[in-house]
Amino acid sequence: MAIHQRLKERNIELPDVSVPAAAYVPYVQTGNLLFVSGHIAKKDGKAWVGQLGTNMDTETGRQAAESIAIDLLGTLQAACGGDLNRIKRIVKVVSLVNANGTFTEPHLVTNGCSELLMHILGDAGAHARSAYCVAQLPMGSCVEIELVAELL
Amino acid sequence: MAIHQRLKERNIELPDVSVPAAAYVPYVQTGNLLFVSGHIAKKDGKAWVGQLGTNMDTETGRQAAESIAIDLLGTLQAACGGDLNRIKRIVKVVSLVNANGTFTEPHLVTNGCSELLMHILGDAGAHARSAYCVAQLPMGSCVEIELVAELL
Amino acid sequence: MAIHQRLKERNIELPDVSVPAAAYVPYVQTGNLLFVSGHIAKKDGKAWVGQLGTNMDTETGRQAAESIAIDLLGTLQAACGGDLNRIKRIVKVVSLVNANGTFTEPHLVTNGCSELLMHILGDAGAHARSAYCVAQLPMGSCVEIELVAELL
């Protein structure tokens, strides 16, 4: 209920599960652990193209990371049969920021995702994390984020 | 049996477990989960050197990723005491493509690995995945792939 | 006891748990698995800035990776309620080396971490691993390392 209300307050409508652009599946569950594939940032249904330090600033990257959090929640909702309350805990987030060798704020970009997960899921949203800059991402997307969740 | 036949049809002979070039082990099992170390692409027993976007094209990268899938299956076979039917599921693949900042097809390169895993292992081979471009890899190898598998 | 003595022999005093610089937590336990956040290399309490292949050599990178191992052990100690003997196994290490496109020795840099973990923890310290070069790291740090451990 609380999760539902917090989504509503932020006017967030969760999308359907993100369909992979290649030869893999959006998530695999093993025991109580759910491994979710990397989700790239999208805008208007296409890759949100950009590179931090080259042609995108930290604040825009942060918004892209936040939009990925919404897509990840959509995928999690599908994996949970529609009920996000089945998420016991977001265990681990790995965030890949498309950047050149001068951009040193992948952690600030990634906060856009981490903070939304924590806002929407509450304590269950607090996660371990790694964030770093990579040379490029699929279709030129600016950010890609994957996660591991524990289900009830 | 089916796995054995599909390997034979493709004329694939699995290698022994890949020996790490540094201070670690090829895999660790915890519970039913097997964490397999990153395997770099090799050619004639040495690192398959190349960088996508600089001096290697997508199709060659894809072949390199497919060759890693064979090495990963060799390591999995060793971890399973010789019986690949003990693999319940490939849970997660992470693929690192050695590329410069202009190459945006790490997902297509990685399909070379994902498709072979799915072809050989059937449904058990379908996995969650992340694929992205990194600045360099050990010994200049063009691709490195790690995975998590669930064993029966 | 043995762990304690090996730390003493090397004059290593473990720090408190490393406090994340951003919106996440240092570790999350799920079942017996402990997922530890990426720890960046630090010197004098600040990010240990450098880029392999640009302005830092392999030996210095290796020392930075060793210093991260000490910080990771500090975090593990906190997660284990002070008793490192509760670590059944270091399962998996992922090491991200801040480097330009010409540096091909991320595995040698990472050995600084792997070898210390194995020296201090003995057999429990032998782990699966991936090591690769990334475009940049938070606050310009030269190395970032995360791990998964199994607790007793």
Q: Which residue segment(s) compose the domain that B61 sits in?
A: 39-151
**Where residue A133 sits, what CATH number does that domain have?**
3.30.1330.40
CA distances from B111 to A25, A27, A127 (A): 12, 16, 29
Give a yes or no: residue B32 inside a domain: no
Q: Which of C130, C136, C142, C145 would you mutate first to test chain B, the one with the most B CBs within 10 A?
A: C130
Which residues on chain C are in Cβ contact (under 8 Å) with A118? Answer: 23
Q: What's the total number of domains in chain C?
A: 1
Which residues on chain A are in Cβ contact (under 8 Å) with B107? Answer: 21-22, 138-139
- Produce one character per residue of A26-39: b if its CB has 16 or more CB atoms within 10 Å, e if not: bbbbbeebbbbbbb
The end-to-end CA distance of chain C, in Å, is 16
Give a yes or no: residue B143 inside a domain: yes
Give a yes or no: residue B124 inside a domain: yes
How far apart are the C-alpha atoms of A66 and A13, rounded to whole Å? Answer: 13
Give a yes or no: residue B93 inside a domain: yes
pLDDT at residue A115 is higher than 70:
yes
Give a yes or no: residue A25 inside a domain: no
Would residue B129 be called left, alpha or beta, if left means φ above 0 and alpha means ψ between -120 and 50 degrees?
Answer: beta
- pTM score, two decimals? 0.96
Which residues on chain B are in Cβ contact (under 8 Å) with C105? Answer: 138
Give a yes or no: residue A124 inside a domain: yes
Nearest to B68 by CA among B100, B36, B91: B36
Which residues on chain C are in Cβ contact (under 8 Å) with B35? Answer: 91-92, 128, 148
Neighbours of chain B (3+ CB pairs under 8 A): A, C
* Residue B114 forms contact with A (CB below 8 Å): yes
User: Which DSSP string do the residues of C115-129 spell out, in sequence order?
Assistant: HHHHHHHGGGG--EE
**Per-residue pLDDT tens over the stretch B98-118:** 999 999 999 999 999 999 999
Helix axes A58-79, A106-121, angle to 10 degrees: 40
What ipTM was reported for this prediction?
A: 0.95
When CB atoms are compared, the residue of B99, B104, B115 closest to A23 is: B115
Mean pLDDT of B29-47: 97
Mean pLDDT of A67-77: 96
**Per-residue pLDDT tens over the stretch B118-141:** 999 999 999 999 999 999 999 999
Count of pairs with CB atoms under 8 A, one residue in A, one in C: 96
DSSP annotation of B135 reads S
Which residues on chain C are in Cβ contact (under 8 Å) with B103? Answer: none
Q: How far is CA A122 from the centre of its chain?
A: 16
Structural element, H or E, at residue A89: strand A87-98
C11 to chain A, minimum CA–CA distance in Å?
29
Per-residue pLDDT band at C19 (split at 50, 70, 90): confident
Mean pLDDT of A111-138: 97
DSSP 3-state percent helix, strand, coil across chain C (nearest 5): 35, 35, 30
* Residue B29 forms contact with A (CB below 8 Å): no
Q: How far is CA B70 from the centre of its chain?
A: 7
The residue assigned the tokens 């050989």 is B120
Give a yes or no: residue A26 inside a domain: no
- Tally of CA atoms within 13 A in the half-sphere of B102 that contains its CB: 7
CB proximity list for B147: less than 8 A, separation 6 or greater: B36, B72, B90, B91, B92, B93, B94, B127
Nearest to B40 by CA among B116, B137, B152: B137
Which residues on chain B are in Cβ contact (under 8 Å) with C101? Answer: 51, 54, 100, 135-136
Q: How many CB atoms within 10 Å of residue B63? A: 18
CB contact under 8 A, B136 and C131: no
Q: How far is CA B138 from the centre of its chain?
A: 15
CB contact under 8 A, C129 and B38: yes
The residue assigned the tokens 């801040």 is C98
Give a yes or no: residue B63 inside a domain: yes
**Per-residue pLDDT tens over the stretch A39-57:** 999 999 999 999 999 999 9
Nearest to A138 by CA among A14, A27, A58, A18: A18
Question: Which tokens is A70 given?
Answer: 């919404």
pLDDT at residue C1 is higher than 70:
no
When CB atoms are compared, the residue of C100, C110, C118 closest to B135 is: C100
User: Which DSSP string do the residues of A44-87 spell out, in sequence order?
Assistant: TTEE-B--BTTTB-HHHHHHHHHHHHHHHHHHHHHHTTT-GGGE
How far apart are the C-alpha atoms of B55 and B112, rounded to whole Å? Answer: 19
**Beta bridge partner(s), residue C103:** none
DSSP annotation of B44 reads T
Three-state DSSP state, B131: strand
For C29, the closest chain A residue by CA position comes to A91
* Residue B101 forms contact with A (CB below 8 Å): yes
Question: Which tokens is B53 given?
Answer: 């976007």
Task: Kindly state the percentage of chain A with pLDDT values over 70.
Answer: 99
